[in-house]
């Protein structure tokens, strides 16, 4: 069974219930896949989640566009999206999507 929902700033307890996530920034997919994969991808991209930190908060803070730092934040988001698009996660999603067509 599949349930699709949008939850803004889920608690760590709620986030732990997710099997898969889709993280979006500036209209682009920054990650789509299993929740552990998001931790791995962000860490590999240079943005590891701190120990004992809610991963959902980490993604929100990392992908946020902060007032006064817009250019820097947008570049960071663009870099993360690019890293995802070069990743095995992206390639696997593309393969699965092509099988559906």
Q: Residue 32 — very low, low, confident or very high, per pLDDT cuts 50/70/90?
A: very high
pTM over 0.75, yes/no? yes
Instruction: Kindly state the tokens that stand for 40.
Output: 């791995």
Mind listing the pLDDT tens digit for each residue in 36-56? 999 999 999 999 999 999 999
- Residues 6 or more apart whose CB falls under 8 angstroms from that of 78 comprise 26, 28
* Cα–Cα dist 4/6, whole Å: 7
Can you list the alpha helix ranges (DSSP code H) found in the chain? Answer: 12-15, 35-44, 55-63, 70-85, 88-100
* Cα–Cα dist 99/101, whole Å: 6
């Amino acid at each position: 069974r599949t349930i699709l929902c949008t939850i803004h700033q889920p608690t760590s307890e709620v986030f732990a219930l997710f099997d898969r996530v889709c993280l979006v920034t500036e209209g682009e997919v920054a990650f789509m896949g299993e929740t552990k994969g998001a931790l791995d991808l962000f860490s590999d991209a240079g943005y590891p989640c701190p120990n004992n930190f809610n991963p959902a908060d980490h993604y929100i803070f990392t992908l946020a566009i902060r007032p006064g730092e817009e250019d820097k934040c947008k570049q960071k988001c663009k870099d993360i999206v690019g890293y995802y698009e070069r990743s095995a996660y992206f390639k696997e999603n593309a393969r699965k999507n092509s099988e559906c067509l």
